[in-house]
Structure 1
Amino acid sequence: MSDPGHHNPSPDSAPAADPPAPVTPEPAPAEPSGLSGARESDRHIEIQEAPFSLLGDSSENGSGNGAENGFGDPDPDTSPPTSRRKRTRTIVLASLLAVGLAGAAALGTFYWQIHSQRDTTLTLPPQIGELTLDTGENAQQTAEYLKTALSAEVDLDETVGAVYTAPADKNVLFFGGTTLFWSPDKDLDTSFSLISDEQGAVTNLHEVDPGPLSGTMKCGTTKTESGDLPVCGWADHGSLALAMFPNRPESEAAPLMRQLRAQIQTRN
């Protein structure tokens, strides 16, 4: 017997089930203490790596210019272009200075020679060793002819000419003059052409010792009707002279020419 007022639900009329509760995601496990800070620090280091390696900060890598090899030594191949240009300019300037000094020294020597040799006088002493100055008319005419011929080849301020006699008919014909010669060697070669025109080409022309008065001296031979005629000449920046030595071998010509020069040439 059922209790009045109390209603038992039947199975068919059972109430509907409650809807499922929403699933709440479980919270992520907490990271160990300090791990988050470490990751942030890692990110900070990664950000700093690019400026560190590209800029080469001298405060971090110990290099003043950021150009070092793996052992901390400066790498010359990575020197700044400005430094290389400075080194190149220094080398070039040093080379030019050395060449300039050498050129100045050579130029100074050249002008010193001109200054010391330009004021020269040629005088004809009456006696030079075994040689005696011939003052006869024929000797004077010969000397005058030689002076005129030389002046036609070489521009001279003053000229001298003489015939010196010696035993065994070993006379000496001497002629020369004074002026400023810029190229004594070339002017001496020009003067030899005078004898070539008159007697025949001067052959075997070669340099010989000019003696203490320096300059240049050359000797050679020319052909005449009586045989070979030795010829010698000297030239410096103040004087030029030639001499012919009939009836003498060439071995006597050069020493005698130096003897003549020592007695005839003086420098003021």
Structure 2
Amino acid sequence: MSQPPANPFGPPHDSPTPPQQQGQPAVPQQPGPPQQPGWPQQQGQPYGGPHLAGPPPKKSNVGKIILIALAVLLVLCLGGAAAIWFTVKDEVGDVVDATKTRVVAPATLAGRAKNTDPQLQTVADQMVASMKSEVKNETSTVGAFYGDPTKQDLLMIAAVSGVMADPKKELDEAVTGLSSELSVTNMTAVDAGPLGGDARCGDGKAEGVPLGVCIWADRGSVGLTVMYFKTAEQTKAEFVTIRGQIEQRS
């Protein structure tokens, strides 16, 4: 009668070797896996213990965020926005006010802390440098990120100040660029807030990420806000607050 095969890893730890039955040939013992000094033999796990890794880290999608930011940069630099000239005397007061306009990046924006991720900061710096080189007669520029992408709460701003010869034209050109670069649709007029000018908001999508986009233009500045992972309605609800913290007049 055949005998069952021997345990390839030997008898259980501390178990006595079963006695050889009379009349049967001795079955040689198979060696168990080598034991590390100071480590007890693991029972029932001949191929190693369970993985002890914690939960996977949340993805920040920084790569996608950067690509979207670069597309936004193209939009703002399409027309070389600022130009100091005007033709109607009644516009003199507007131009004087425009020369006092500046755009800034506050430490917090609409309750969100400034994001200091090195990759995002590098892109923000590149945005500012490019706007300074492409936009004519700018008086200030800003590019920054706020919030936490791992919580799907990230806000990007990009703006430039300078005397705008035709703010409506700047706004139209920016809207056309957004439609092309970020597939923004349904751009509708929204309340521009106490700083005046014109503003529009719409829904976009780039690199598979939904975007809420709002843009403004007035005599002294043009700029936009992009909320990643949000809709235009969500962005519009905060637009006046955000713009009011970016655009300042002395």
TM-score of Structure 1 vs Structure 2, range by shorter chain: 0.5 to 0.7
Q: CA deviation at 1:243?
A: 1.4
Q: TM-score, normalised by structure 1?
A: 0.53
Instruction: Please say if 1:225 is aligned against 2:207.
Output: yes
Counterparts in 2 of 1:57-72, with a 5 A limit? none
1:100-119 map, 5 Å: 109-119=90-100
Pair 1:262 & 2:223 matched: no
Unpaired runs of at least 5, structure 2: 1-87
Paired residue type of 2:189: E
Matched residue, 1:89: none
- C-alpha contact (below 8 Å) 2:214/2:232 kept by paired residues: no
- Shift in Å at residue 111 of structure 1? 2.9
**Secondary structure of 2:228's aligned partner:** coil
SS at match of 1:261: helix
Q: Which has the higher contact order (CA 8 A, sep 6+)?
A: 2
Deviations 1:86-128 (A, max 9, x none): xxxxxxxxxxxxxxxxxxxxx5553322222332111111112
Question: Among residues 157, 172, 185, which one is paired with 2:155 in the alignment?
Answer: 172
Counterpart secondary structure, 2:229: coil
Change (3 A) 1:176 1:219: same
- Within a 5 Å distance, the mapping from 1:62-101 to structure 2 comes to none
Partners in 1 of 2:133 and 2:172 — Cα distance?
14
* Matched AA of 2:108: Q
| 1:132 corresponds to | 113
Aligned equivalents of 1:145 and 1:189: distance in 2?
24
* Contact 1:150 1:194 survives alignment (8 Å): no
| Higher helix proportion | 1
Q: What is the CA–CA distance in structure 2 between the aligned matches of 1:257 and 1:150, rounded to whole Å?
A: 22
Structure exhibiting the larger radius of gyration computed from Cα positions: 1
Task: Work out the CA distance in 2 between the residues paired with 1:242 and 1:191.
Answer: 9
Note the C-alpha offset of 1:238.
Answer: 1.0
Identity level (%): 28
Mapped partners of 1:257, 1:166: distance in 2:
18
Residue type at the aligned position of 1:218:
R
Equivalent-residue separation in structure 2 for 1:154 and 1:193 (angstroms): 18
- Does 1:214 find its partner at 2:196? yes
Distance 2:131 2:238 in 1: 21
Corresponding residue number in structure 2 for 1:186: 169
Distance in 1, Cα, partners of 2:182 & 2:137:
23
Equivalent pair of 2:103/2:247 in contact (CA under 8 Å): yes
Q: Which runs of 5+ in 1 are unaligned?
A: 1-106
Q: What TM-score, normalized by structure 2, do the two folds share?
A: 0.57
Letter in 2 for 1:159: T
Contact 1:154 1:190 in 2 (8 A): no
- CA change 1:253–1:152 in 2 (3 A) is farther
1:198 aligns with 2:149: no
Please give the alpha-carbon distance, in whole angstroms, between the structure 2 residues aligned to 1:156 and 1:170: 34
**Residues 155 and 220 of structure 1: is their aligned pair in 2 closer, same or farther, counting only changes over 3 Å?**
farther
Matches within 5 A, 1:233-252: 233-252=215-234
- Cα RMSD of the aligned pairs, angstroms, is 2.4
- Distance between the aligned counterparts of 2:210 and 2:234, measured in 1? 13
